[in-house]
Amino acid sequence: MTPGEYHKRVSQYIKVPEAFPTQLSECLAVTSYVESQYDDDASYQHLNKYLEKIENNSKIAEGHRNRLFYMALPPSVFIPVAKGIKKNVYSKGAINRLVHLGKELGALFSENEIYRIDHYLGKEMVKNIMTMRFANVFFGSIWNAQHIDNIQITFKEPFGTEGRGGYFDEFGIIRDVIQNHLFQDALLGQYGKSEDCTKPGYLEDDSLKNKQSVTPTFATLVAWINNERWQGVPFILKAGKALNESKVEIRIQFKNVAGQLFNTVPRNELVIRVQPNEAVYMKFNNKLPGLSFQTTISELDMTYHRRYSDLRIPDAYEALILDVLRGDHSNFVRDDELDVAWNIFTPLLHEIDSTVIKPVEYAYGSRGPKQLYEFVSSYGFRHHEQYVWPVQNVSATGPRL
């Protein structure tokens, strides 16, 4: 691309407030494009000279020419690019920071220079979990196995691979989503055609070479934390493509009320909605207004777009890149953390690959495999049959997974 073609391409993704119409041109004025090759020293040397020209024109003093490298690249070129940067573009005597998704760069950059980005760690509701837990006395009292029956972490996408099947087939849903963003027992699925046949199945993706692929596009896994606080509490992790909605949430379901005074009331739940429509709400049982003593489910609801209507919630990448510029590692993945995650998941992934487990087919646009309801129920989750969160404006009723 030429610099002009690059500006035209990125402009379509930049939102400009009506009150500040000149911001786009101001942004593009300080945005450059330099064409180069991943494995060519001359390309990196050309890039380094271009950066030096900018630094000279900006009159940045020696020792203050800090550089941030954001590697939005295929994993296969992480190492060649990192080597090219370290050899040719590394700013000596100043601060260098590298943002990426991989682990193997430790031999080239020190740990305090590396920022392993997972944009879900920059989500407002994810960052709010620490505050909710440790700034409220009542959560501190009930945040344990004595009161909590199970915890579900759900990641749902309403679209399939959409022409990325060839890329996705190398990794599958566990490596693509669960290991990065979110064990023992697992339910694996792969989406087929939608019930009305308007959406193709995974194996019909034109970019997919292996038409007998058993790569899962849906997985439900159960993890356990064997310490005093969480002994016996299943963490049910669910992630999938081509499902019925877009949703990321954490659902903490509490135990049944002891010595039921009222007949079989539903369990209390604390739901943290990460996206869309950030919210925290507690489902609790309440007397239905009127002459009877019938109970009904109600909510203590903090929906962000209503409670904080005058505040703008920044995009996760905005917040994380600002953290990098500030040198704040708190919302990034450490190398030892990454090691532990892969130590947990690698045996499962090897088992899936070596035994060639065939995933269960589910319809594009459905909630997932038909076995899902029975699977999560076997780990203690109880469905609230007719409950619909009213602020969602959802008309359908039935079990919510």
CA torsion angle 39 44 47 48 (round to 10): 160
Higher pLDDT, 118 or 202: 202
Does residue 401 have a pLDDT over 50? no
Q: For 19-31, what is the mean pLDDT?
A: 90
User: What's the chain's average pLDDT?
Assistant: 87
Q: What is the mean predicted confidence (pLDDT) over 50-67?
A: 93
| Residues 261, 240 share a domain | yes
Residue 27 covered by a domain: no
| Residue 76 resides in a domain | yes
Measuring CA to CA, which residue among 246, 241, 154 is closest to residue 202? 241
Q: How confident is the model at residue 150 (pLDDT cuts 50, 70, 90)?
A: very high
Q: What is the pLDDT of residue 179?
A: 61
Active site residue 329: no
If you average pLDDT over residues 56-83, what whole number do you get? Answer: 90
- Provide DSSP, 168-209: HTTTHHIIIIIHHH---SEEEEEEEEETTS-S--GGG-TT-S
- Within a domain: residue 1? no
Antiparallel, parallel or unpaired: β 269-275 and 247-254:
antiparallel
Specify the pLDDT at position 370. Answer: 95
Residue 49 domain boundaries: 34-116
Give the burial class of 20: count Cβ atoms within 10 A of its Cβ; 0-12 exposed, 13-18 middle, 19 or more buried.
exposed
Q: Report the percentage of the chain scoring pLDDT > 90.
A: 48
Which CATH number do you get for residue 63?
3.40.50.720
Domain match, 68 and 195 both:
no
Domain count, the chain: 2
Asked if 40 and 67 sit in the same domain, the reply is yes
Residue range 317-323: mean pLDDT, rounded: 91
Domain boundary among 92, 116, 140: 116
In Å, what is the CA distance from 25 to each residue of 8, 28, 95, 139? 11, 5, 29, 48
Question: For residue 267, what is the DSSP state?
Answer: P
pLDDT for 83: 92
* Residue 295 counted as domain residue: yes
In contact, 36 and 77? CB cutoff 8 Å: no
Q: Of the listed 7, 181, 305, 384, which one is catalytic? A: 181
**Is residue 184 predicted with pLDDT exceeding 60?**
no
Residue pLDDT, tens place only, 195-239: 999 999 999 988 888 888 988 999 999 999 999 999 999 999 999
Does residue 88 contact residue 150 with C-beta atoms inside 8 Å? no
Least confident of 24-33, 97-106, 183-192: 97-106
Q: How far is CA 291 from the centre of its chain?
A: 46
Per-residue pLDDT, 101: 63
This prediction has a pTM of 0.80
Tracing tokens 């500030």 back to the chain, one arrives at 326
Do 99 and 148 lie in one domain? The reply is: no
Residues 6+ apart with CB under 8 A from 94: 63, 64, 65, 66, 67
- Token pair of 366 as six digits: 């459905």
**Is residue 246 domain-shared with residue 372, that is, in the same domain?**
yes
Per DSSP bridges, beta strands 269-275 and 218-223 are unpaired
Residue 11 has what pLDDT? Answer: 92
On whether both 169 and 313 belong to a single domain, the answer is yes
